[in-house]
Structure 1
Amino acid sequence: MMKSPTQAKPMDGIAVERNATPPLSAETPNVDQPRYTQRETLLTMLGVLLVMLLASLDQTIVSTAMPHIISELQGFDRYTWVTTAYMLTSTVMVPIYGKLSDLFGRKSIFLIGVSVFLFGSALSGAAQTMNQLIAFRALQGLGAAALLPIAIAVVGDLFTPRERGKWQGVTTAVFGLSSILGPAVGGWITENTTWRWVFYVNLPIGLIALGVLIFLMPTLHRKVAKTKIDYIGAVLLVLGTVPMLLGFTWAGGDLPWLSVQIIGLFSFALVALVGFFIYEIRLAHRGEQPIIDPRLFKNSIFSISILVTMITNMGMFGSIFFLPLFAQGVMGVSATNSGLLLSPMMIALMISSVISGQLISRFGKYKWVAIVGLLITIAGMYLLYRLNVHSANLDLSVAMIVVGLGLGFGMSTYTIAVQNVMPDKIGESTSALTFFRSIGSTVALAAMGSLMSSAYVPAFHNALPANLKLMLPAKLISALDNPNILLSPDAQKQMLQQFSKYGPQGKVIYSQLIEAVKVGLTQGIHNVFILSLVLMVIGLVAALFLKEVPLRGSMTRKKTQTVDDLTTEVESVSPAMLH
């Protein structure tokens, strides 16, 4: 008996398409994603790329301007909180937005996300205190959670797994462009106008993106049998994730690891998360729509990809975030030039990502790409570990280039692998992958910030000459327990003027103090790089267990269309004609 159009399967690994494509169904297993017209594809990708540009440009601009921001708002002790708050809210909302996009369409979620993100950007630019900035960045995160993960899911809707490798270069070019322009623009804005414009610059880009989404982008609506929203699961997820991330943020810094508050946060988080997964299992067994289906973890490719991306993202995000701090605080590089120093790494990342994407599409395999990328990244992390107070700009640039080459190889590899084995759960699996990756980033940032701060003070005091400890007032030395002076040229100038009153000997004392502060900060960041290196090695070991499943889909649309024509002709044969 002939199969109906909705039952037809791929032929020889080539995606079978229809002239009349049926609606997307999150419940339809073992089929490639449907094809859209060329106009729909191009307009959709235009919206996707603009959204990616908006989200990635914000991250790169803000990270470079952060040293100046914390100097003006006097918030070194909350240095990591500006990003942690952003990551906290965006992490919690990612799987919720992912499921909603499956239920109600990608376009509506994009519109909500971009609107909230722009509102948060405007408020962040107007912040008057560090606490206000942290709160408004959290609001930004609520919107940002809908941007990148849904954009990646849209690429999964439009193309077969093998085709996605080629599009990896296009999407990565946006990241590369924003990563190159963002730090330089952020540094230039900070030094020539005010840091507030690093947030206001999102507004014109965001308005353009909104226009494209509203008027040009199709809905890409996946029709499902049931559209009941998992409110209880969402509440349990928030109640579990937020205390857990707060615990990692405060532990070892503001509060001891074994304090009642930290233990209480982790205990509450554990209970809520266990309750969340139990409830999600019940929903899945009833045939409803859980936010994260626990049965996804039965797939080894999904589980290994989650593990590797979490671990490697912890090493990557933690180390990269502290590079501008090292360049400006230890090497004395200006905000603009520290942004330019990051450019070689991003260019290398862009080049290697384009090459790896082409190789994945050509050969239809991904495991060797992931392993090669991790090996190169480990070499780059080792070069970062070797940096010290006397390192030159060239030393830092070489290390970042190697890190960038390695990171580019694995940037989208695991997403392609997961979407390849879960074609009927692209939105859910992609958002889950992004969710756990974000958790890794947030935990790493909080832990590494605590590690840096706790290592700085003893290293600074150990670097002080013994005669200075006896000569200088204890109050002056304790004031330098915060290395904020390295990030403020004005403060350094005022301090030098004060010591210059005591003649040449005063200038020598000033130089020794500043050198000790640099040594302390270097040691703190040095410990961060060590942890990053260890994490990358663990990620490499985990990647060795990743299964290789040949990527579905054709290399070219021409082949696919030929099969379409053949399939259409075969399916047009009536049962009577077969007798």
Structure 2
Amino acid sequence: MEQCGLVRTSTGWHFWMAFASLCSVMFAAALDSTVITIALPTISSSLDSNQYVWIINTYSLSCAVFLCVVAQLADFFDRKPIILACMLLYGGGSAICGAAQTMRIMICGRIVQGIGGGGAPVLAEIICSDMVALGDRPKFLGILSMTSALGGVIGPPIGSAIIAGTTWRWIFYINVLFSACATVSLLFTIPPQTPGLAATPLSLPEKLQRLDWIGNIIFTGSSTALLYGLVAGGNVHPWKSANVILALVFGALGFIALHWYEGSDNVAHGHPVIPPRLANNRTALAMNMLACLVVLLLTWISYFLPVYFQAVLQASPGRSSVLLLPTSLPPLLFGMVGAVLMTVFGRVREIHMAGAAILSASFGVFSLFDASTSLAARVCVQAAQSAGAGLIAATILPGLQAQLPQSDVAAATALFNFMRSLGGIWGVTIPSVVFNARVDSGLSSVGDVDVRKRLANGGAYSLASASFIKSMAENTRQEVVALYVSGLRVTWYVAMAFALAALGLACLEKRIKIK
């Protein structure tokens, strides 16, 4: 068993002020990810455009593709000015979105906002890792993760209140306020000097020369192509279209080329944007893939449990959001439980194995859900699923950092967050394909031809509402509910397969003890 440890963290009032500033960054960035979902139909109508899907997707794309670039800049030019720049971009992009009069301006604002909103949380985790000894990182990174999750949980109620009380533009203006407060707090609490290449006595031209320009260009281009293909497939273009296939192929080939280039002698001064040792380390590779799968499954459940609530149980959207609370809240608690267990016992692999086993069992039980499943059973299974995910999510990053030298913290943290972004996109794409395919194959069980046509080709997901189900005759309603139950059952089976894959990845990790 390997042991990894550093001296304990020195905490004083200045440390806690700085840490609170990092928490405010995590909260502000997470708030946007959920607060805007409530307002999408209103924004689309106000801007007279049906391209609302890109309001979400352009933000997600720009968040992901610049992560490693931002991390390397933070290594060369100090963390503080880079995180301040990210928060200014986030606030400036929010202001552009709030003032937008056309969808084109809105999308431009979301791109700017996404660069800052993706980079700032990564830098917050990197700075926290600089400030905190390895043995204490699970606890403090767990608090950061909990703060981020809290922002995600309260986003929808805030969005609903803003839409009900004022204009949708305040959804973005409130982000300007939060980002301004976080920026001022960072300015006065984060120390200007941090570990890394920023401390080396190099001139600005020398630092610019040492940047991995080619690696950054390949990574950015490959990420953009791959993520565009995943996002556009089934939304903008059919999966079989040349646009989607070419984007996915170029993205995959780009990452192969990146791996070759970063391992070659061509990287300037030996500072690749993604060090090859991150891919060659078995445990680090397993943890990055595990991070992708956990976010994939969390996204999966957040998109398809509401389908069960509204189409099968025929709950209203408001009641559906309440029924989702056993899924939304436990990760806050069990993320901290996992962090405390990791801090006290120093175990990583065992926590991940336990969490993945709970996830696998939970998705297996989800496949048994139908219209007669009791509230108590649903709450227990939802809470168990969330507990398993929370145990893993809060402990991956400190476990990942324990495998690597301190000089790789920035690159490892950026790659970890990129894998999470990839998991978030896959978490929408894969279950949608599975669900729609199962529904289409079972449409013959619905006798009403008109209803059958409306449910085909992805219509079942968009029509998953109590009002749609209740508008049918009793016989047709039973047939459609049975079809939804069948489609969801297959979806949960596939989710269970991914959860079992996560368990396999956890088993591949080395047994380490963090002190």
TM-score, with length taken from structure 1 = 0.75
- Whole-Å Cα distance in 1 between the matches of residues 458 and 240 of structure 2? 28
3-state SS, counterpart of residue 410 of structure 1: helix
In the alignment, is residue 543 of structure 1 matched against residue 509 of structure 2? no
Contact preservation (8 Å) 2:18, 2:190: yes
Matched residue, 1:24: none
Name the CA shift for 1:86/1:516 in 2 (closer, same or farther; >3 Å): farther
Q: Give 2:269's match in structure 1, choosing from 270, 287, 293.
A: 287
AA at the equivalent of 2:511: E
Q: Where do residues 89-128 of structure 1 align in structure 2 (5 Å cutoff)? A: 89-125=62-98
Name the CA shift for 1:187/1:382 in 2 (closer, same or farther; >3 Å): farther
Matched residue, 2:288: 306
Contact preservation (8 Å) 2:229, 2:248: yes
Matched residue, 1:85: 58
3-state SS, counterpart of residue 207 of structure 2: coil
AA at the equivalent of 1:356: G
Q: Quote the offset at 1:537 in angstroms.
A: 0.5
Matched residue, 2:341: 359
Contact preservation (8 Å) 2:295, 2:420: yes
In the alignment, is residue 345 of structure 1 matched against residue 318 of structure 2? no
- Whole-Å Cα distance in 2 between the matches of residues 243 and 296 of structure 1? 22
Matched residue, 2:203: none
Q: Quote the offset at 1:516 in angstroms.
A: 6.1
For residues 175-206 of structure 1, the C-alpha deviation after alignment (integer angstroms, 9 at most, x for no partner) is 34324422333344445555554444323222
Q: Quote the offset at 1:274 in angstroms.
A: 2.9
- Whole-Å Cα distance in 2 between the matches of residues 140 and 427 of structure 1? 21
Contact preservation (8 Å) 2:336, 2:394: no
Matched residue, 1:50: 24
AA at the equivalent of 2:412: S
Contact preservation (8 Å) 2:219, 2:255: yes
AA at the equivalent of 1:227: K
TM-score, with length taken from structure 2 = 0.84
Name the CA shift for 1:323/1:57 in 2 (closer, same or farther; >3 Å): farther
In the alignment, is residue 531 of structure 1 matched against residue 467 of structure 2? no
Matched residue, 1:439: 422
- Which one is further off, 142-151 or 473-482? 473-482
3-state SS, counterpart of residue 195 of structure 2: coil
- Whole-Å Cα distance in 2 between the matches of residues 534 and 545 of structure 1? 17
Matched positions, count: 503
AA at the equivalent of 2:36: V
Contact preservation (8 Å) 2:162, 2:168: yes
Considering only CA atoms, is the larger Rg found in Structure 1 or Structure 2?
A: 1
Q: Quote the offset at 1:131 in angstroms.
A: 7.3
AA at the equivalent of 1:107: K
Contact preservation (8 Å) 1:114, 1:144: yes
Q: Quote the offset at 1:108 in angstroms.
A: 1.6
In the alignment, is residue 146 of structure 1 matched against residue 126 of structure 2? no
- Whole-Å Cα distance in 1 between the matches of residues 119 and 218 of structure 2? 19
Contact preservation (8 Å) 1:113, 1:142: yes
- Whole-Å Cα distance in 1 between the matches of residues 159 and 403 of structure 2? 40
Q: Quote the offset at 1:65 in angstroms.
A: 5.4
3-state SS, counterpart of residue 365 of structure 1: coil
Matched residue, 1:206: 179
Q: Quote the offset at 1:486 in angstroms.
A: 4.9
- Whole-Å Cα distance in 1 between the matches of residues 433 and 420 of structure 2? 20
Q: Where do residues 61-460 of structure 1 align in structure 2 (5 Å cutoff)? A: 61-63=35-37, 82-125=55-98, 136-190=109-163, 193=166, 196-224=169-197, 225=200, 227-228=207-208, 229-251=211-233, 255=237, 257-282=239-264, 287-328=269-310, 330-389=312-371, 391=373, 394-422=376-404, 423-457=406-440, 459=442
Contact preservation (8 Å) 2:316, 2:466: no
Name the CA shift for 1:180/1:249 in 2 (closer, same or farther; >3 Å): closer
- Whole-Å Cα distance in 2 between the matches of residues 364 and 488 of structure 1? 48
Q: Which runs of 5+ in 2 are unaligned?
A: 201-205
Name the CA shift for 1:368/1:277 in 2 (closer, same or farther; >3 Å): same
Matched residue, 1:561: none
Name the CA shift for 1:268/1:157 in 2 (closer, same or farther; >3 Å): same
Name the CA shift for 1:347/1:380 in 2 (closer, same or farther; >3 Å): same
Q: Quote the offset at 1:430 in angstroms.
A: 1.2
Name the CA shift for 1:393/1:136 in 2 (closer, same or farther; >3 Å): farther
Name the CA shift for 1:356/1:462 in 2 (closer, same or farther; >3 Å): same
> Once the two structures are aligned, what percentage of the paired residues are identical?
22
- Whole-Å Cα distance in 2 between the matches of residues 403 and 521 of structure 1? 21
Q: Quote the offset at 1:273 in angstroms.
A: 2.4
Q: Quote the offset at 1:80 in angstroms.
A: 6.1
Q: Quote the offset at 1:66 in angstroms.
A: 5.4
Q: Quote the offset at 1:326 in angstroms.
A: 4.3
3-state SS, counterpart of residue 227 of structure 1: helix
Give the alignment's Cα RMSD to 1 decimal: 3.7
Q: Quote the offset at 1:39 in angstroms.
A: 3.8
- Which one is further off, 183-192 or 311-320? 183-192
Contact preservation (8 Å) 2:436, 2:487: yes
Contact preservation (8 Å) 1:120, 1:136: yes
- Which one is further off, 66-75 or 337-346? 66-75
- Whole-Å Cα distance in 1 between the matches of residues 451 and 317 of structure 2? 32
Contact preservation (8 Å) 1:115, 1:143: yes
Name the CA shift for 1:303/1:133 in 2 (closer, same or farther; >3 Å): same
- Whole-Å Cα distance in 1 between the matches of residues 49 and 492 of structure 2? 23
For residues 322-348 of structure 1, the C-alpha deviation after alignment (integer angstroms, 9 at most, x for no partner) is 334544455444444433333333332
Q: Quote the offset at 1:298 in angstroms.
A: 2.4
Contact preservation (8 Å) 1:245, 1:443: no
Contact preservation (8 Å) 1:305, 1:414: yes
Q: Quote the offset at 1:314 in angstroms.
A: 1.9
3-state SS, counterpart of residue 239 of structure 1: helix
